[in-house]
Chain A
């Protein structure tokens, strides 16, 4: 069950993981390695098997088949001290309504050997001025910060964050990213699920996309799904209309356009597909439905590109 080599290199090792609910496979032969010290984002539509996979890693659910090692232990039979080394921030949690932030953080700190300083953690998650507030009176975003505080109290080697910034305003999200980055710098392995692609792009060293219970793409955010190989998209204004073109040589096209306009190209933009574009295409491919039907707003630009490619050719 435990090999020191695996522990040193991989925080998580999954081979052939399967979990079936009422004859439907939620996780269907999933393989995945997560390196120690890595920030890993697991993306996927609801129902793809994300939560099932993460909860198997956290020890909340038993698997039907496959091998799983988390920090060198099988989470179904973790040894003493395993839970001291992991931190879990669940997707939604309420409860402990009548207890203040300070009381709750101090209380939870008592579960761990050598916990972080509770006051430092409360300040770190930005609840310093809410110390004396009962959980009942916290806003949704403040509750999430309290969840995060409880998750990192034990100074875990591996931290699970299930949609941690839901309900955060943009400023709080930026602050949270800073906190996660500092945890990662300290060597904490972080497994993150999120629906915010910008969050995954900002935080994750690697991204895994899961659909229908399998990993369909696994790479750095910059390279996911061949994103770095994709054509650049240029848009500009010509004869009062927006023009667009897709090309593997954007610099050449800009030079050409610049010559055509005799200098500045009106309203010029050059972009590569966003992580969201790639993600939607990936989950569209493997679920059988086109991304256009799933997310109508996302495909106006690509369809316009097709028109312009013909225009450019003529």
Chain B
């Protein structure tokens, strides 16, 4: 260790305070470096839906759908995997990384710096947007190029995709922040976060046909946002004739917007009320 000089003594008079946009960009970059250097995150959040779609496509060769308009399994499960990927990248990544960063003192350390809290959260959201878009791009490319799935060509469908993606990611992110306070420790975090999410995926029509579930389970699933996100994505990636296979016989776009927005608002309120920079046992 050697000696250090102080910065200019008159600096306090005219601090060149770094701008919020610059800090948010730096946070996003740091979050992305952390995400892609963490092997677990890449495998279980980023590659998981892609691998699963590939396995489904290879394991099941039968056709699904209404008579005369049947599609390949890969095509049928593509919307489910897109919805699942959004849930993993937004909800799971947020809940896990926050629980771990709270436990290991990263959050506490950041709280002791001039970093504006909003820049921390915007950096997380920036990371999730980049990872989410990259994941869906890879997922769609694999589906279209390797598994022979058809991607929509009409602009209207892509518009539906866009608002489903934004609402799904936004609500998943804030719910992930809110849920990050539930695990008691970083050790229990992956079980507490991943377990319920897997169950939710099963009952939300991500892994198999939603209408195959008993109606009481369908009702349970209808409370949570993932079922609605998957339904929205089905309306994007499946032919029009599949609309009649939905429980209500309709894609219910209005209801999807309503329910995802409601979860977004509930999540925001819970975040603001319960967010902690420190561990539960830390004063």
Would you call B34 and A123 a contact (CB within 8 A)? no
Task: Render B92-128 as a binary contact track against A, CB cut-off 8 A, 1 for contact.
Answer: 0000000011001110110111110000000000000
Contact between B111 and A98, CB atoms less than 8 A apart: no
A18 to chain B, nearest CB (A): 14
Partner of B278, one of A60, A112, A124, A186: A60
Which residues of A, 1-53, contact B by the 8 Å Cβ criterion? 21, 52
Contact of B17 with A113 in the complex, beta carbons under 8 Å = yes
Of the candidates B1, B15, B33, B100, the one whose C-beta lies within 8 Å of that of A125 is B1
- If over half of B's interface residues share one DSSP class (helix, strand or loop), that class is named, otherwise mixed; here it is loop
- Hey, which chain B residues are within 8 Å of A99, CB to CB? 30, 33-34, 37
**B4 surroundings in chain A (CB, below 8 A):** 116, 120-121, 124, 152, 179, 182-183, 186
User: Could you tell me the distance between the alpha carbons of A179 and B105 in the complex, rounded to whole angstroms?
Assistant: 25
Q: Which of A98, A110, A123 contacts B33 (CB 8 A)?
A: A98
Please give, as numbers and ranges, the residues of chain A lying within 8 Å of B7 by CB-CB distance. 114-116, 155
CB closest residue in chain A, given B283: A61
A114 touches B8 (CB 8 A): yes
User: B3 — which chain A residues lie within 8 A by C-beta?
Assistant: 124, 178-179, 182, 185
Assembly CA distance A173 to B83 (angstroms): 53
B38 to chain A, nearest CB (A): 6
Q: Does A223 contact B (CB under 8 A)?
A: no
Are A111 and B115 closer than 8 Å at their CB atoms?
Answer: yes
A108-B1 contact, Cβ under 8 Å, with A60-B108, A98-B33? no
Selecting from A85-93, A235-243, A267-275, the interface stretch reads A85-93
Q: Which of A98, A123, A154, A186 contacts B5 (CB 8 A)?
A: A186
Q: Which of B18-26, B54-62, B145-153, B194-202 contacts A (4 or more CB under 8 A)?
A: B18-26
B: residues with CB less than 8 A from A are 1-8, 11-12, 15-18, 22-23, 26, 30, 33-34, 37-38, 100-101, 104-106, 108-109, 111-115, 277-278, 283
Interface residues of A (CB under 8 A from B): 21, 52, 55, 58-61, 81, 83-86, 88, 90, 92-96, 98-99, 103, 107-108, 110-116, 120-121, 123-126, 134, 145, 150, 152, 154-155, 175-176, 178-179, 182-183, 185-188
Sample (8) of A-B pairs whose CB atoms are under 8 Å apart: A60-B112, A60-B283, A90-B105, A90-B108, A99-B33, A134-B37, A150-B109, A178-B2
